[in-house]
């Protein structure tokens, strides 16, 4: 366990704590039973840390935009429990890790987080990211509705908490947040590119799955283009069916090789159009 050169203190005062006496840090984990291992899983960002030097390619070194702005950008909020996916966005969605209740408990910081610099930095970074996300009453309502923080936190308590948090930034016991939190929102397609290029280490998994597994790019592609893909499919099916009927007649049977060639040309043409459109969609996802 990493030890601090001086005793760290919680980033907020006991009087401003929003949660008191957390009994469980995980649904199936009692306090005192391998808590440290759970906290590492719940707070560390190992996949982003591997490519930290290249995160400027995936996002800007500024805080995330507040939740009401995310709504204005028509992004749907998807809660994620993976800290690596916190504030990662793709098209019309953004992943946000709900703030763990224990990060709002002063005593928990003293007992579990202030003794380990690495844990402290990761916990502090996640906590401060919410200062950027919840800047207005509307942000707090959105967060409560999405289950991102305890529902009983009101606006006045949150303002007092954040004010106290900002005052204590100048404390001599302040420990800098994890470097990942120098960046706010991160674009998923670019994180996938960084992983597939081997910047996090070469492996088959990185090449195939990238940073985050799933077929989000292709799902979005087919959602946008389902109409014309269906039209092309129906059109080609009708043509090929007509050719099949024609081949059953004597006149066309004599020229079956020519009809077969036409069928092959039509199939290859449609395949080329679809493949070209998919490639354009992928390039558009990596650019901008």
Residue 82's pLDDT is what? 96
Average pLDDT over residues 119-143: 96
Contacts of 107 (CB under 8 A, 6+ apart): 14, 17, 20, 21, 22
Q: Which one is predicted more confidently, 92 or 30?
A: 92
Q: Tens digits of per-residue pLDDT, 62-105?
A: 999 999 999 999 999 999 999 999 999 999 999 999 999 999 99
| Global model pTM greater than 0.85 | no
Instruction: Answer yes or no: is pLDDT of 252 > 80.
Output: no
The HSE-up count of residue 76 (CA atoms within 13 Å, CB side) is: 4
Q: How far apart are CA 249 and CA 48, in angstroms?
A: 64
Torsion-angle region of 210 (φ positive above 0: left; ψ -120 to 50: alpha; else: beta) = left
| Beta bridge partners of residue 187, listed in sequence order | 89
Cβ neighbours of residue 136 under 8 Å, at least 6 residues apart? Answer: 66, 68
Tell me if 252 sits within 8 A of 159, measured CB to CB.
Answer: no
Between residues 206 and 270, which one has the greater pLDDT? 206
What is the dihedral sign for C-alpha 270, 272, 275, 277? negative
Phi, psi of 78 (to 5 degrees): -115, 115
SS3 content of the chain, % helix, strand, coil (to 5): 60, 5, 35
pLDDT of 286 strictly over 50: no
Q: What is the mean pLDDT of residues 129-150?
A: 96
Q: Which residues contact 5 (CB under 8 A, 6 or more apart)?
A: none
Q: Which residues contact 69 (CB under 8 A, 6 or more apart)?
A: none
Fill in the DSSP letter of residue 84: G
Mean predicted confidence (pLDDT) in 158-183: 80
């Amino acid at each position: 366990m990493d030890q601090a050169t001086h005793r760290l203190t919680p980033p907020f005062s006991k009087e401003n704590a929003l949660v008191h006496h957390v009994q469980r840090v995980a649904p199936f984990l009692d306090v005192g039973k391998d808590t440290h291992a759970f906290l590492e899983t719940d707070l560390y960002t190992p996949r982003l840390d591997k490519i930290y030097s290249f995160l400027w390619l995936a996002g800007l070194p500024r805080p995330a935009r507040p939740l009401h702005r995310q709504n204005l950008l028509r992004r749907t909020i998807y809660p994620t429990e993976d800290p690596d996916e916190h504030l990662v966005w793709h098209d019309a969605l953004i992943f946000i890790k709900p703030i763990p209740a224990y990060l709002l408990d002063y005593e928990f910081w003293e007992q579990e987080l202030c003794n380990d610099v690495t844990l402290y930095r990761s916990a502090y970074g996640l906590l401060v990211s919410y200062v950027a996300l919840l800047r207005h009453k509307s942000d707090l309502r959105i967060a409560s509705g999405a289950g991102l923080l305890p529902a009983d936190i009101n606006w006045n308590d949150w303002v007092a908490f954040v004010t106290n948090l900002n005052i204590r930034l100048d404390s001599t016991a302040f420990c800098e947040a994890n470097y990942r939190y120098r960046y706010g929102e991160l674009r998923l397609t670019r994180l996938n590119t960084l992983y597939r290029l081997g910047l996090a280490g070469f492996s088959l998994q990185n090449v195939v799955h990238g940073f985050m597994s799933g077929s989000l790019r292709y799902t979005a592609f087919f959602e946008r283009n389902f109409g014309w893909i269906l039209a092309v499919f129906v059109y080609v099916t009708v043509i090929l069916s007509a050719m099949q009927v024609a081949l059953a007649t004597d006149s066309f049977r004599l020229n079956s090789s020519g009809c077969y060639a036409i069928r092959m040309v039509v199939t290859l043409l449609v395949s080329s159009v679809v493949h070209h459109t998919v490639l354009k969609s992928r390039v558009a996802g990596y650019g901008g």
